[in-house]
Amino acid sequence: MTPQRKMEMVHLTQILILLLCLVPTHILCVSNCNFAAIFNFGDSNSDTGGLSAAFGQAPYPNGETFFHAPAGRFSDGHLLIDFIAEGLDLPYLSAFLDSIGSNFSHGANFATAGSTIRPQNTTMAQSGYSPISVDVQGVQFSDFHTRSQIIRQKGRLSQALYTFNIGQNDLTAGYELNMSTDQVKAYVPDLLSQLSNIIKKVYAKGGRSFWIHNTGPVGCLPYVMDHFMITAAQVNKYGLYGCANSFNELRKELPLAAFTYVDVYSVKYSSIGHAKKLRFENPFLACCGHGGKYNYNRFIKCGSKKMVNGKEIVIASSCMDPSVRVSWDGTHFTKAANKWIIDQIVNGSFSDPPIPFEFGLQQS
């Protein structure tokens, strides 16, 4: 991979951000939000147990800070979706695929780690991408809608908040298949078309309030910097990418919907660029990992074990204090970083429209 192509990969994140901006016609919520439920669609950034239920639990030390045990999340504690649920005084979302201890009376989470917008023509063993792409999540939601009488009778589908946090894996999937930057750029419109189709289907089932995150700064993540040898200097060269454009097609087609676009990219980039000021340590150093420049090894993930002298030991353990790290495992953020991020976005500063989404977040 040439230096130019490595740097173009960072630019690709900007492309998806520009295309994902949804201009709203109504304010989602100013205060006293009374959402009866949350339905989430996404990847590992909002997966609360989907992948673990289907392919095996994310191992300890995932979950160590808050849950004190593996809890289906690829983090030491809360994800943004957990803080959103807390702020709305709702239970944490159960994964749709999880049959153990689940409660779907206040919504469901269809996200699975490794999910993409566009289905990948590979197995999970080959590429690491989940077969449960967003179109499959849409089918699961439709099935939930059909079968969940309690939710439907109480009108919670129309009174629910629908959150979307997906697209990050689509930006790297092409490079994993050795596609050129131009080839990856070429399928971005199809990504947006497929995401729009799912939103339209949810709207047709009664969904009206949509909270949509753009992708995070993919080029700043240790797993990308390590795999594609992108340096911190190259990342910083491109500065802060925000939302500079928008499209109105969904607004025209779905006149009763309220869209709130959240520029999570800018907030996450800020947590990395101003880490020391925010009292975080090296933002490119993973808390839970094994070796290498960024304490990241793609073949030895967080919680990995090996046999040593007949005893199984964890060789990819967590750092002493996850609260001072931004990156949890080289791919995902720590609970502390997620808490800082949610604190920045609830006042509307990074939302379109810039109206406070007054959660009144609880401290955890």
Q: Among residues 44, 115, 209, 270, which one is catalytic? A: 44
Q: Among residues 43, 82, 170, 329, which one is catalytic? A: 329
Closest CA to 300 of 223, 217, 225, 218: 223
Q: Are 113 and 73 in contact (CB under 8 A)?
A: no
**What is the rounded distance in angstroms from the CA atom of residue 165 to the CA atom of residue 200?**
16
44 is known as an active-site residue: yes
Transcribe 94-162 into DSSP letters.
PBTT--SS---TTEEE---TT--SSPPSS-HHHH---S--HHHHHHHHHHHHHH-HHHHHTTTTTTSEE
What are the distances in angstroms from CA 204 to CA 109, 214, 283? 19, 23, 42
Six token digits for residue 203: 């709207």
Amino acid at 307: M
**What is the rounded distance in angstroms from the CA atom of residue 211 to the CA atom of residue 209?**
7
98 is known as an active-site residue: no
Q: Among residues 46, 78, 332, 351, which one is catalytic? A: 332
Q: Are 263 and 242 in contact (CB under 8 A)?
A: yes
Residues 6+ apart with CB under 8 A from 153: none
Amino acid at 233: A
Q: Are 112 and 51 in contact (CB under 8 A)?
A: yes
Residues 6+ apart with CB under 8 A from 348: 354, 355, 356, 357
318 is known as an active-site residue: no
Residue 220 DSSP class: G
Q: Are 164 and 211 in contact (CB under 8 A)?
A: yes
Active-site residues, by number, are 44, 329, 332
